[in-house]
Each structure stands twice: as structure tokens, then as C-alpha cells.
Amino acid sequence: MDADAASFANRVLNWYQRYGRHDLPWQRQDAYRVWLSEIMLQQTQVGTVIPYYQNFIKRFPNIKQLADADIDEVLQHWQGLGYYARARNLHQAARIVRDQHKGRFPQSFDAVAALPGVGRSTAGAILSFAFDQRWPILDGNVKRVLARCFRVPGWYGQSDTMKQLWYLAESVTPAEQAPDFNQAMMDIGSMVCLKSKPKCEACPLKEICSSYRHHSQAEYPQKKPARVKPHKHTLMLLHRHADQVLLWRRPPSGIWGGLWSLPEVDAEPAIELWQQSFLSMTQLPNKIQESVIRHQFTHYSLDISLAIIEMEQLPHKIFDQDNYVWVGIEALGDHGLPTPVRKLLASLQD
């Protein structure tokens, strides 16, 4: 490690002693808990994650219990955290650990990085926090600190930029105390080097930060040129009979994969099934609410309209019983539902 890198690491470690976070519920815990927290923390802030983490650990206290659980129950405990692919990958990875690693969390980088949902940075974080190994990490907060400190050109979607950021992360990570260093870098990113208005006066890196010296903090990290978000529209069908509603399980891939939702007329295979097996039994919608909810995804926004179909009687046979179910309003909480659908159903009960 050269002198600049050593100075960088010392500043970060000294700051961590005084100001860093030392009492997060997953710190100094086993690999299962560290791994779970790292997956939950992808795209989600610490404050939001803590109650979900605690609730999840209460129900699935170890990797075996998670692996043996039904995916529906896992998704239900993930409900509200978003990015549900994370929960499906977590569940799948728990089964891999159970079946291929004798239930013990692997300790080699290649084996950890091969688990579904675990990328290079997450693998480094797990190995460093759970097994005290020296691996660099590069989550969103660390990327921002490094991009500003070294004025790294380009945006994160560019491979040259990522290569340079990984090179820097690798260079500044010390041989000793890698877990403290990694935690400190995440803390500096989330507490000091904020996206807008970084608190440079309180930053341990200000004497060596190139953006600070050049008053160019706002220019780094450089942004991807903006693109207008496309706008989509869908019509959801609320079949209602007394206090029961019809839920449809979404396909495993795609948005809200595997979660329970309402049948949609533009979603295959729901429309096809609906037309073939069900339409003849239903009345025409007696109420359509236009654009009742707008939901923002990363790449597009979605307007959801709702057609309410009051049914006088339940159909005798239910087609495709695995993926359609009648549920009493009071039991909706037992099913993993996407947040906008849950809000939509809740608003009808008001």
C-alpha cells in the first residue's frame, strides 16, 4: 500500500472510531445475518431496513429455516421493501447453501459470488463483515465517495468508470481492519458525503479530496444523460363477491414476480385465461375507476386503472387453481401483495 492509500485508510479508520455506526443489528453476527442485511440494504436505506430485518430474522432465524420455507411466506415478509427479485434470489440461494454447502455459508469469494443475487460488492461485504477477510466493496455510497475524492470521470454504466472505481476501492482498502474500513466508507457516504450538499467540513477526507479542492463536488459522480421515462397503463380487474376478492399470482419473472396481485387485462396469460374460462361467468364491470394509482418504477411510470366487477355468486369451478384464489378482505395481509395493489385494496375498504 503506498503512502497516499495508507493516509486515506487511516483517516477513514480514525473517523470510524468516533463517528461510525457500531450498533447496527447485523454487526458482529453470523454470515447468514450479514448476508441478509446486505441483500436488504441493496437499494434501501438503513433506517428502512432495520424493522424488516428484525421481523425477517424472527420468522427465519437461520439459513435452514429460510431454505425450508415456502416462497410465498418469504415474499410476504419482504412485502413493502420492493425489488422482490432480491427475496426470490435469497430464498434460492438459501436452498443452494443447504443442498450444496451442507447448510454452512461458504467462505470463498467464488462460491459466495456464485449465489443468486450476490454481486462482487455484496460478496466482498459478506466476506469482510462475517469472516474478517480483506475484500473491497463498491456500493452506491462508496462509489460516490471515491468518484468525488478522485474526480473519476464518466457515469456508473460505463465500464471504464467502473474499472477505475474498483481499482481505487482495491487500492485504498487496508490489509488490516477491512471490516471497519468498509463500514466506515458506507457510513461516510450515507452520513457525510451526501448526494446533495455533502458535509465536507466534517469529512475526514477533505484534505485529500480532489473535488473539495476544486470546488467541484456537485459535478461528481457524473450523471448519465437524462432520458424521458416512458409511461405505461394497465387495467386491473377486481372481482368481488361479498367480502371476497379474486387474487392472481404473477409469473415468477417480470415486475412483482411471484407476488399475488389482481388479474390484469394486458398481462399474459391472465387475459387469455380470463377470456377463455371466466369471462362468460362474469358480468360486465359495473364500475371502472380511471388511473386510480400512479406507480413509479426505475425505468417507467405505471398508471393503474381498476375495473370493479361485483359478482352475485362465486363461479362453480376455479380454473388454474394454483395461480388464482378467492381471499376474504380480512385475510389479504396473509398474501404478499405489491405495495400499490395493497394500497388500492385498502382504499376500497375505507
Q: Which is nearer to ligand SF4, 191 or 273 (CB)?
A: 191
Rounded to the nearest whole angstrom, what is the least distance from the CB of residue 12 to ligand SF4 in the complex? 10
Q: Enumerate the β-bridge partners of residue 237.
A: 307
Alpha-carbon dihedral 192, 122, 179, 222, rounded to 10 degrees: -30
Tell me how far apart the alpha carbons of residues 228 and 221 are, in angstroms, rounded to a whole number: 20
Only segment of 53-61, 169-177, 200-208, 323-331 that touches ligand SF4 (CB under 6 A): 200-208
Phi, psi of 323, deg, nearest 5? -115, 0
Query: Residue 127 and residue 108: Cα distance in Å, rounded?
Result: 8
Q: Is 126 in the site for ligand SF4 (CB under 6 A)?
A: no
Residues 133-192 that bind ligand SF4 (CB under 6 A): 145, 148-149, 192
Residue 144 beta carbon to ligand SF4: minimum distance, rounded to whole angstroms: 7
Q: How many CB atoms lie within 10 A of CB 185?
A: 29
C-alpha cell at 231: 409511461
38 catalytically annotated:
yes
The whole-angstrom separation of Cα 195 and Cα 209 is: 16
Taking residue 183's Cβ as centre, other Cβ atoms within 10 Å add up to: 22
Q: Select 104 or 214, whichever has its Cβ closest to ligand SF4.
A: 214
Residue 125 C-beta: closest distance to ligand SF4, Å: 20
Residue selected from 134, 206, 240, 241 as contacting ligand SF4 according to rule CB under 6 A = 206
In the shown chain, the binding pattern of residues 262 to 301 toward ligand SF4, with x for contact by CB under 6 A and - for none, equals ----------------------------------------
For ligand SF4, the binding residue among 53, 129, 212, 248 (CB under 6 A) is 212
Query: Which range of residues in 79-87, 120-128, 155-163, 211-219 is near ligand SF4 by CB under 6 A?
Result: 211-219
154 within 8 A of 222, measured Cβ to Cβ = yes
**Rounded to the nearest 10 degrees, how much is the dihedral formed by the CA atoms of 55, 56, 61, 64?**
160
Q: How many CA atoms lie within 13 A of 30 on its CB side?
A: 8
Binding site for ligand SF4 (CB under 6 A): 145, 148-149, 192-193, 198, 200, 203, 205-206, 209, 211-212, 217
Return the active site residues: 38
